[in-house]
Amino acid sequence: QVPLVESGGGSVEDGGSLRLSCAASGWPYSTYVMGWFRQAPGKEREGISCSNWSGGSTYYADSVKGRFTISRDNAKNTLYLQMNSLKPEDTAMYYCAADWSTVVAGCEVVGFGYWGQGTQVTVSS
């Protein structure tokens, strides 16, 4: 059973917007650090945005700062990523992840033990 399910990916043109969702099931994820990661073909998976349980502590990679916004609705066990001003270089498979023992700072891949299956985002020029 996959505890995290992403949705909302798709194909958009340069400058477009998408909103990703990550639904958690079977776990009280409200106390977990959660984050969004992406992996482009031939590249390593990278952390792009993470949030603590309250949303009061967040991290954004420089490449998405000012364009992407992370949010969470703990009552719905759902994590969101609003992506605006998308660029072709944002094209990747996007994953959400969660863990109770990690930290927001740095949004490191190695800190997360629970992963979704991913949703594809493609931005055309």
**Per-residue model confidence as pLDDT tens digits over 95-121:** 999 998 888 888 999 999 999 999 999
Two structure tokens written together for 8: 């909302």
The answer on pLDDT for 5 being more than 90 is: yes
Largest CA distance in the chain: 40
Burial class (CB in 10 A: 0-12, 13-18, 19+), 102: buried
**Spatial separation of the C-alpha atoms in residues 120 and 40, rounded to whole Å:** 10
Instruction: Return the SS3 of 95.
Output: strand
* pLDDT number for residue 2: 53
For 15, which DSSP code?
Answer: T
pLDDT tens column, 35-90: 999 999 999 999 999 999 888 999 999 999 999 999 999 889 999 999 999 999 99
CB 95, CB 38: distance < 8 Å: yes
